[in-house]
Amino acid sequence: MLDLKGHRITYFGHSTFSLTTPSGQVALIDPWVATNPACPPALRIVPRLDVIFLSHAHSDHFGDLLSLAKQHKPKIVAIFETCLFIESKGFENETSPMGKGGSQKVGEFEVIMTHAFHSNSIDENGVRHYGGEPAGL
Residue 137: pLDDT band (50, 70, 90) is low
Residue-level pLDDT at 134: 47
The average confidence (pLDDT) of the chain is: 90
120, 107 contact by CB (below 8 A): no
pLDDT at 125 over 90: no
Enumerate helices (H) and strands (E) in the chain, giving the number of each: 3, 12
DSSP string over 60-72: HHHTTHHHHHHHH
Pick 22 or 128 by higher pLDDT.
22
Entry pTM: 0.86
pLDDT of residue 103: 96
Question: Would you state the pLDDT for residue 133?
Answer: 45
Query: Measured between alpha carbons, how far is 61 from 36 in angstroms, rounded to an integer?
Result: 10
Domains, the chain, in order of start with CATH, read 8-136 (3.60.15.10)
Q: Tell me: the pLDDT tens digits for 16-52?
A: 999 999 999 999 999 999 989 999 999 999 999 999 9
